[in-house]
Amino acid sequence: MGLITPPRPVKLIAGLLIFRPEENKERLFQRLAERFGPIDKATSGRGFEETDYYEKEMGAPLMRYFIAFARLVFPDALPDVKRATNDLENEFSNGRGGRAVNIDPGILTLQNLVLATTKNFTHRIYLGKGIYADLTLIFQKGAYHPLPWTYPDYRNGQTRAFFLEVRETYKDQLKGITP
């Protein structure tokens, strides 16, 4: 029988899609920091062209950002985090009854990156509170690797390089924490 031990804290991350970033980005980053603590890493943003799935609701063009938070959380916080980010999405209405931002929170560990979602699918695990876990990237041989269902923007080499940088920061944060 294995020993039951408490989990280590994990690195909270988020993927952000923003319509009209000149209006919404700074306010969104501020609101996220108010809720989850300081942002310690962020991408500069790039055009989101992998799919037009969000354009009808959100508009176009969309910008994609990835961020990581300085404060570590425990893995079981993910359902509450996703529910809180859904509330933030509702706060950022685009004036047409849709969102102006899309927030995909997740957790990064030394072994993987898991996103939170409200949609069930064959590879997703129910966490509770209406939220599912989506294993998105796995860490092997010094790099994060996509899985067959990984979203195209998380397959991107620049995105995976960003998460490697976040992983190094996370490793440093773990040094002061006993297992």
Question: What is the tens place of the pLDDT at every residue in 93-137?
Answer: 887 888 999 999 999 999 999 999 999 999 999 999 999 999 999
Number of domains in the chain: 1
CA separation for the pair 164, 55 (Å, rounded): 29
- The CATH number of residue 72's host domain is 3.30.70
Task: With respect to residue 179, please indicate whether it lies within any of the assigned structural domains.
Answer: no
Let me know if residue 139 belongs to a domain: yes
Whether 4 is covered by a domain: the verdict is no
Quick one: CA dihedral 157, 159, 162, 167, positive or negative? Answer: negative
Please say if the pLDDT value at position 31 is more than 90: yes
What mean pLDDT do residues 10-18 have?
Answer: 97
Given a cut of 90, whether residue 178 has pLDDT beyond it is no
Sign of the alpha-carbon dihedral angle for 73, 78, 84, 87: positive
Amino acid at 29: F
Supply the pLDDT for residue 96: 82
Side-chain half-sphere CA neighbours of 33 within 13 A: 13
Domain residue limits at 129: 10-172
Averaged pLDDT, 42-46:
95
Give yes or no for residue 167 having a pLDDT over 80. Answer: yes
How far is Cα 36 from Cα 13, in angstroms, rounded to an integer? 10
pLDDT at 24: 93
Angstrom CA distances, 163 to 9, 113, 126, stand at 17, 9, 24
User: Does residue 3 form part of some domain?
Assistant: no
CB 112 within 8 A of CB 138: yes
Taking a C-beta distance cutoff of 8 angstroms, is the pair 102, 57 a contact? no
Pick the range with the lowest mean pLDDT from 10-19, 91-100, 145-154: 91-100
Supply the pTM of this predicted model.
Answer: 0.95
Does pLDDT of 165 surpass 70?
yes
Inform me whether the pLDDT recorded for 66 exceeds 90: yes
Answer whether residue 49 is part of any domain. yes
The pLDDT, as a whole number, for residue 179 is 64
